[in-house]
């Protein structure tokens, strides 16, 4: 009689592991899609930051020799907002930026006359659309480069 009761209890639990397997499979799929989206977002931000670094460096080096002055502390450079913006736009036109969608120069200028600050923005779209990830996000990065003589 004892073994019949155990067998009856075991038969009553048929299919419960299938529900758990389906749940954990769906959970694993959602987790994988979220990790893929987060990785894509991180890589796109790094790509945008790399382009901004190049544009800021081009802007910091965009000066005429007449803008170099000899001071008691050494040589100094005067970088203008107009020169920084023109050099940043020229750099963006010359450098391929591939998958960066709707790339914009939000700001390009010289905050102190000796360095260049460039702010770029672009859209990021997830590689796989799901209900758990937004359709897209506008990324914005800033990069600063400074002109120096040694």
DSSP string, 7-44: HHHHHTTTTHHHHHHHHHHHHHHHHHHHHHHHHHHHHH
Question: Is the model's pLDDT at 23 over the cut of 90?
Answer: yes
Any domain includes 63: yes
Any domain includes 5: no
59 touches 83 (CB < 8 A): yes
As a whole number of Å, the CA-based R_g of the chain is 28
For the chain, the first-to-last Cα distance in angstroms comes to 95
Boundaries of domain holding 65: 13-69+78-146
d(CA 78, CA 60): 10
Any domain includes 56: yes
Taking only the tens place, the pLDDT of each residue in 116-131 is: 999 999 999 888 877 7
Spatial CB neighbours of 139, under 8 Å, sequence gap ≥ 6 = 41, 44, 45, 48, 121, 122, 123, 124
Over range 82-100, report the average pLDDT: 87
136 touches 99 (CB < 8 A): no
Any domain includes 93: yes
Any domain includes 26: yes
User: Which pLDDT score is estimated for 9?
Assistant: 57
DSSP summary character for residue 132: T
Any domain includes 6: no
pTM of the model: 0.76
- Domains in the chain, number: 1
User: Which pLDDT score is estimated for 128?
Assistant: 81
* Range from 46-55, 66-75, 103-112 carrying the lowest mean pLDDT: 66-75
Any domain includes 4: no
User: Which pLDDT score is estimated for 97?
Assistant: 78
User: Which pLDDT score is estimated for 39?
Assistant: 93
Any domain includes 7: no
């Amino acid at each position: 009689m004892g073994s019949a009761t155990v067998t009856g209890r075991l038969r009553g639990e048929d299919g419960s592991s299938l529900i758990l397997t389906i749940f954990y499979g769906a959970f694993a799929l959602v987790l994988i899609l979220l990790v893929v989206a987060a990785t894509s977002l991180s890589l796109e931000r790094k790509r945008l930051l790399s382009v901004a670094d190049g544009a800021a460096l081009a802007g910091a080096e965009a000066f005429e020799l007449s803008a170099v002055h000899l001071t008691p502390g050494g040589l100094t450079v005067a970088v203008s907002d107009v020169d920084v913006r023109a050099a940043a736009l020229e750099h963006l036109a010359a450098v391929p930026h591939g998958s960066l969608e709707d790339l914009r120069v939000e700001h390009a200028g010289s905050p102190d006359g000796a360095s260049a600050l460039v702010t770029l923005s672009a859209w990021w779209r997830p590689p796989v659309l799901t209900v758990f990830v937004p359709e897209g996000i506008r990324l914005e990065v800033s990069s600063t480069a400074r002109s120096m003589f040694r």
